[in-house]
Structure 1
Amino acid sequence: MLKYFHIRYPLMNYRYLVGFIFMLIIVISCNGISGEKTQPEKNISTVSDLVHFVDEAVVYSQRAGKDSALKAFADPNGSFTRGDAYIWAYDFSGINLAHPFHPEYTGSNKLSLVDPDGLHMIQLMQDTALNGSGFVSYKYENPLTGKTESKLAYVKRVDDSWWLGSGIYGENLSIPDTIPESIGTSLSTTVDNAVRYAEKVGKEKAVDEFNNQSGSFTTNDSYIFAFDLNGTTLAHPFHQDKIGTNESTFTDVNGVSIGGEKLTVAKEGGGFWYYVFDNPDIGNQPEFKASYIKTINNSWVVGTGRYLSDIPVNFSDENREKLVNQVHDAVSYVNEHGKDAAIKEFNNPNGSFSNPDMFIFAFDLNGTLLANPYLPGLVGENRLNDQDPYGKYPVKQLITNAEHGGGYTYYFFSDPGSDYDIRLKLGYTELAGKDMIIGSGIFPRT
């Protein structure tokens, strides 16, 4: 028995060893090496998934830098190829920068590329991305089926030089009215209609119509408001007591200057801005509101807005005080150590001013990013024309606030403390010296 046992025991060990090696080979083969995906990624099956996928790719570009991002996007086995959805990239002259299933496109100008119906799809996508982001419908080959199918693309500008896109296949795909692009389009369309009406009938008749609760521009969830370039209210169908009141100094519950920011946007000709305001539909409880305004004849302004109840705005007094104090400390650091040393410290992800929940960033007065410890791929680039998902130009407002002595503003940005998801952020900025903007921000935490 003992002899038998001693013969069998090493054989059993040997078999276990062979089995272990075999299993290890299978695991390595399945998981992949050299940049292949190590775990299954979520399939991109809905329009909301598509928007999130492209947002994820844009943030990756900002974190890893353009060269690393393009390499990842061009990899057909990489994490940015998920089933029949994948990321492609172009510059704004029409040159393809990355395509995982058509590597021969890279370096070629594809503006002349048309779908079976003759649609210049790349040209249309490029024009859409120039405006920030948006959707394009066309027909294209599905890499999984090899067939030409209907496709809905979502494209987004990365910076002034290039853009990204992806798409999903399917017939009659609809764009949800709850995503930022749909909301922004709805608001701007409503305002454009009001502007055309005002230009047709004149200011006096238009203001009367906008003030009419039963008028053609007032519905259960939409109305037109108007003010002059001094901030005096001209029209508001549900706040007649505000007519003739100057609201240029009004602030919301988080200290954001409602009046000041809307005048800044109005003097630019119009655009989007955000604030927290009492919603009459829920007992005048404060809710986040996105608004769009447009200036008429350089003398008065019309606008509309929408409450977005699913966006949290719980920025506590304590956190806002910490935010302002951190910016003050950063400005003092610049004054004490000098601009170059400060920028180096602000860019250090392990530095004294870096925390995913609240970190220091810096711009020059022209909008060039000087410091961001969590998005190093953006440092050195001009971000003045960046737009967030609803269409706001946050860097412009951050600079304006700093130049006017400091202040808060809302915008949507990637949250390093929440897997870089795009979330509402409350930013605060001040000047450091004469040529640098110092800022920080907080995300709502539950």
Structure 2
Amino acid sequence: MGLITVSGLGKAYKTYPTRLSRLAEWLLPMRGPRHALKWVLRDVSFQVAPGEAVGLIGINGAGKSTLLKLITGTTQPTTGGVAMHGSVAALLELGMGFHPDFTGRQNAYMAGQLLGMTADQITVLMPQIEAFADIGEYMDQPVRVYSSGMQMRVAFSVATARRPDILIVDEALSVGDAYFQHKSFDRIRQFRKEGTTLLLVSHDKQAIQSVCDRAILLDGGRLAREGRPEEIMDYYNAMIAERENDTVRQQEAAGGKVQTVSGTGEATVADIALLDETGERVEVVDVGSAVTLEIRVRAHAPIPRMVLGYMIKDRLGQPMYGTNTHLKELPLDDVRAGEDVVYRFAFPMNLGPGTYSVATAIVSTETHLVNNYEWRDLALVFTVMNMRRPHFEGSAWLDPAVEIQRT
């Protein structure tokens, strides 16, 4: 079984004020160092248990790729160390190790041998590799004529030709087409069922939340936060929106879930409720019944333009539906300080049975990246039950009219 243990890991690079300083340090070592250390990763410690899937997230430059290189041994650490138990397959930089003048097949042999397979083993696996990569006659063409997506197809097919104990995947999968991404994640899920330990780097919220048991947030080369994927992704998204304002905060909500709130506070959600057809507040809703989402917003300062949006998510944090008053062409102009605004969104609850949450956002445009007055996850939690309809599977009530013709 695969186990990854990262202990006090750090990586620093030497920086010199001039090229002569580098030469002087080399020629005159007794006079002391002439460089400064630039730390790109510092004091990172965590463990990935056998069979666990962990997502690694962070903005560009946070140290994710450096961390993966240290874990896989392609870069040596300045401090700390990494211990891994089990066979490892890593898909890091796209096409890393591929020779542009060799064919896809020749590169597959080289990549497979780097992963510890023999030439005979690769020959046996080659039909499977070709079938999964699905690039046809290009398999025997030089890699220099490949698109980035084709390189990723071959690299992923080779790396996953045998189920490894540990699978490490960087953001390379993001360059593939939608069809191959689905194939790739299906294979990753199958490996997970069979006990493979997974370390996945991605900016894709759905990928992290649907595949991973836990998420780790890197920020500025340090481990900033770790926890359940939904909690960490909510914090990450809020952190991006509030990079300069430092207004992100988290608190434990009912049921033990962690609620993320961010924003300047110039407007806030004062009340939110789900109402049934009679106007009564409800927490349990029947599939397909008519409901109204009522949100009362209070302005604490003058707001030139105010937009309210909401997102309904399932229990894993996957978005079910979202909209806002900008998209509905109903923004409000010149909202006064102290003014209350009540929004009512009426719709049929065509969701499948399960527990759902509502996230709210008070902004000035269609995005929270311009003026984020308040963004609140887990603003409301409700349950959908199937009380009157025939049994069905899935997260949406899409009852069809069925026509059958026999001849």
The normalised TM-score by structure 1 is: 0.26
Structure number with the higher helix fraction is: 1
The normalised TM-score by structure 2 is: 0.28
* Greater relative contact order, per chain length (Cα 8 Å cut-off, separation 6+): 2
